Amino acid sequence: MSKKTPYHRLIIGSLLVILAVLSFTAGTANARSISEQQPKGVRITTPPPTPQATSFTLYDNTSYPRANLEQYGLTRAAVVYDVWHMACTDTGCTNIPTQSDFTAKVQYFVSQFRAASTTPLTLDFENILMVSATSAAQAQNELTLWQQLITWAHEAAPSAPIGMYSYDWSTSYTSLTQQLYTPGYLDYFAPAMYTYYSTLSGWDNALNLAVTHDQSLNPALPIYPYIWPQWDNSGTSHPFISASDWTHILTSLQAQTQGAILWSSNDSLDATACGWVGVTSDQAAVLTGTQSYGPLTISAATPDTCSLTRGATTAVGVTVTNNGKNASAPATLQPVAGQQGITESYSDPNIPTLPPGRSWTTTLNITVPSTETDTTALLHINYGTGDQHLTVVVP
């Protein structure tokens, strides 16, 4: 997750080679490069499992500076990192914390991630994952250690569901892993579903493998994959994922799982993040029942897609269209105060009667005070009988 050592990348690489062999027959006709922006057909070699998701929750486990994704409806969750550098071999395990030290670190990470006591708590101990063990004896030692650590986690955070970040598309030592997904131990699956692949067809195949495997271990438990809105297939460069690709990922997860946990490093957001931030805002609004509404269609974009300048006023073109069958009633655009002192004003707030198919334009002036600190903001274009969300990035 956060600290990918060469060892971890070697393990992931080895596992992905196996996946590549499994998905080879998909060919390249439907493959999508990261530079492509529009959705295309994706051929999946592993049949998708039967959809079981009846509800879906987006959790925020990101470290983007002051991104404030909660304003869109995401729920903060916590992850405990392996600060002890635990390791197991055929003969035993080393660098094991005491229960008191483990409890203190659990409470520290819950506080750092500003997570509630009842939200998912994921244990990210990638160096002792059984799917990466090189022998049955090592895997058995790791199982015993995991059982102890999970028990301590429940005692440290008794109201939180506990999960294990893992490479669930791998089936190594499945019989041992399954013992952790029983009453008293893990409460949900947390498969790594980052974009390690050069195409989304590879990601689709890995998702199908992970969900099928998880359902075979315990079909009663929810699946909350870890996702990252940046590509993780190009070394040290991690460009933000486009709106169309992020839509594909979230839509696929909603069809097959019960939620997703957004993770990130502490990279700064800029205008290239507009795509995934906007999609996340829109989809979270639908999931929480707070989406845009109204009889008119409104489109708006800042001069560089979605970003605003702190300490300045930005003019945003707004187009109002009547896509209904009857003429619309006159309406008045109402300035809505944004977070941390952001203000709105319109060059002309009076929307006239619009015949079907007709549009009208105005300018929305958005002022962001220099004291504003969040790097994203949810604004509103409100006209009384309708409200359109406008999601922006403030680098």
Q: Which two tokens stand for residue 144?
A: 């015993």
pLDDT, position 66: 93
Q: Cα torsion for 272, 276, 282, 287, to the nearest 10°?
A: -160
Residues in contact with 286: Cβ distance below 8 Å, sequence separation at least 6, in sequence order: none
Q: At what angle do helices 6-23 and 200-217 cross, to 10 degrees?
A: 90
Query: How far, CA to CA in Å, does 76 sit from each of 41, 62, 179?
Result: 33, 9, 28
Q: Which two tokens stand for residue 6?
A: 């060469």
Residue pair 106/156 in contact by the 8 Å Cβ criterion: yes
Half-sphere exposure in the Cβ direction for 172 (13 Å, CA): 19
For residue 131, give the 3-state DSSP assignment. helix
Q: Mind listing the pLDDT tens digit of every residue in the chain (395 residues)? A: 644 443 344 444 444 444 443 443 333 333 332 233 222 222 223 334 444 445 999 999 999 999 999 999 999 999 999 999 999 999 999 999 999 999 999 999 999 999 999 999 999 999 999 999 999 999 999 999 999 999 999 999 999 999 999 999 999 999 999 999 999 999 999 999 999 888 899 999 999 999 999 999 999 999 999 999 999 887 778 999 999 999 999 999 999 999 999 999 988 999 999 999 999 999 999 999 999 999 999 999 888 789 999 999 999 999 999 999 999 999 999 999 998 999 999 999 999 999 999 999 999 999 999 999 999 999 999 999 999 999 999 99
Residues 148, 273: Cα–Cα separation, whole Å = 40
Residue 52 phi/psi, 5° resolution? -125, -10
The pTM for the full model equals: 0.85
Degrees (nearest 5) of the Cα angle 109, 260, 113? 15
pLDDT, position 26: 37
CB-neighbour burial class of residue 390 (10 A; exposed 0-12, middle 13-18, buried 19+): buried
pLDDT, position 73: 96
One-letter identity of residue 259 = G
H/E stretch holding 124 = strand 121-124
Residue pair 246/254 in contact by the 8 Å Cβ criterion: no
pLDDT, position 312: 97
pLDDT, position 49: 44
Residue 337 phi/psi, 5° resolution? -70, 135
pLDDT, position 41: 25
Domain parsing of the chain, residue ranges: 6-288, 297-393
Residue pair 206/21 in contact by the 8 Å Cβ criterion: no
| Identical fold, 6-288 and 297-393 | no
Q: Are strands 121-124 and 78-81 parallel, antiparallel or unpaired?
A: parallel
CATH topology of domain 297-393: Immunoglobulin-like (2.60.40)
Query: How far, CA to CA in Å, does 60 sit from each of 73, 229, 246?
Result: 10, 12, 15
Residues in contact with 390: Cβ distance below 8 Å, sequence separation at least 6, in sequence order: 300, 316, 378, 379, 380, 381
pLDDT, position 359: 98
For residue 143, give the 3-state DSSP assignment. helix
pLDDT, position 1: 64
Q: Is 6-288 a domain of CATH 3.20.20.70?
A: yes
